[in-house]
Structure 1
Amino acid sequence: DGIVQTLLSGPPQSRNDAAVVLVMLSGEPAAMRLLAQTPGTFAVLVEMLGLASLSASESAATLLYRQSLEVKYRSEIGGTGNCLEELTTAVDAGTAHAQAMAGCALVNLIDNPDNQARLCENSNVINILLRVAEEGESAMAKRCAIGTLRQVVDGVGGFKAMRIKRRVETLNFR
């Protein structure tokens, strides 16, 4: 409980250290439950994704990925601040670890209809994912971008979805 409080209200370095410790504890269901049930935690993790500290963004991406494994938290996580945009930015420009964790979190989160709608409303995120899918250097980032885009197409439909589908279908990455 003290670690989560440090994450929420500690000075920047202490918050970063708390996130690193929480990543180490993330295999413990009780720790993940406490993290998910403490108000404000998702907002802090989303904020940490955008920090210059590599450790902070990697830890935040990892914790958001681990939380996204639980279907019941997906809508809440995706609706927190600029979560989908921050995860997409991490997939695009983060370290290899942050790219992988953020990408996997996006694939999980986009399974939720609320998050599919949020993503479709954000052309910037879609454009970044299309660019990563087409030009990204990381195979994992490409796979996650393509997987996310495919789920958007399947879940939303419409003209925008058809445009995305055409571009995704031209990619050789399966």
Structure 2
Amino acid sequence: MDNEKAPANAIVMEFKEDPALTETMRLRVSSLQRSGQKRQDGERLLLPHEFVYRLDFNNQDLNFSRWYFSLTGHGRVTITGICQLWTPDLTNLMTRQLLEPIGTFWRNANDPEDVPLKWLEADMQEFGERIAELAKVRKVMYFLFAYKDGSDKGNLSCSVEFTPQQ
């Protein structure tokens, strides 16, 4: 969240939107609506303000260092990690596969543009550590980004810094 320079051995990973997976999950919602069916028990459907992002891990032995995020304007962004590995048939997302805690940062509508973003520091620290932990067994990890209260994906920059384990 700060402007410090990353250490020389740091790995800064930017979250990449996965439009194909987002669209597939949206098709699931529209398919259920068209057919009049209900979601499966425990299934988590993608909401209109949510998008799927991913991190690809080339190095899997990582320690979490810090977050880098900026949001122009105001609004709230939440990031929820998904512990699920997506299978080729894109199995449905189940609520039990969502990680706690979620990452949240925001700027209130009446805050001046130069006021730093607010964030839940302890949750963001734990969330970053959970990502590093899951990277040990995953080459790819998926996330739900939810844009609320006026935030928009075009106004967001978000990455996470790790250092390789020694």
TM-score of the two chains, using structure 2 as the length reference: 0.29
Q: Which has the higher contact order (CA 8 A, sep 6+)?
A: 2
TM-score of the two chains, using structure 1 as the length reference: 0.28
More strand by share: 2
Larger radius of gyration: 2
More helix by share: 1
